Amino acid sequence: MSEEQQVKTIKYDTLGNLENSKRAFFTDKTVDVLREELLSKPYKLYHLKYIYSNDMDGYFDFAARNFVNGGLIKSCEPYKKYIFGVFRCYVLDRVEKKYNYEAYFICNTTAHIKDILTDCYDNFTWDCITDIDEFITHFNFNNDDNLLCEAYLH
C-alpha cells in the first residue's frame, strides 16, 4: 500500500453522530435538531474564507459553480464523516466577474482539522465561531442576492 493510500485510510475519533441533524436539516428544513446536537457535544464550528478567490475572477459563472461543486466539495468528500459543511460562492462584481468563496464547517472529530484536510487546509483562513446561534444563522440555507451557488458536504 502506498503512503498516499495509507493516509486516506486513517480513522479519527468522532464527537457524535450528526446523521439525525443532517436528515432534519435537509428533509424537514429545520435547524432545531442540529442546534440541540451542537449544544450536546464540543463540536468545532468554523467560518472559512478561500484565500485564492481571485483565481476565478473573469471566468463565467458556470466555472465558478463548477469550482464549488466539483473542486471544493470533491476535495473534502472523503472526510464527510468528520465534516458537515457548506461551500458558497458570492458574486462581488457581475460585470468584472469577481467572486468570493466561503464555507462554514461543523467538525465532528477530536483531531485537529489540519490533520484531516492536509491537502487543502492552507487554502483557507479558519475562524472559530463559538456562538452556536450565530453559526447556524450563517450555516442555514442562504437567499442572499449575491449568492451564485451553495453546496453542502454531508
pLDDT digits (tens, 9 = 90+) for 123-148: 999 999 999 999 999 999 988 999 99
Task: Write the pLDDT tens digit of every residue in 3-26.
Answer: 554 445 678 999 999 999 999 999
Q: What are phi and psi of 72, to 5 degrees?
A: -65, -50
Q: What is the per-residue pLDDT for 104?
A: 96
6-13, Cβ contacts within 8 angstroms, sequence gap of 24 or more: 7/118, 8/78, 12/82, 12/109, 12/110, 12/111, 12/115, 12/116, 13/109, 13/110, 13/111
CATH code of the domain in which 77 resides: 3.30.70.1010
Residue tagged 428533509 (cell numbers): 27
Structural domain including 28 reads 3-153
Number of domains in the chain: 1
43-72: average pLDDT? 89
28, 141 contact by CB (below 8 A)? no
Amino acid, res. 127: D
Tabulate helix, strand, coil % of the chain (nearest 5).
40, 25, 35
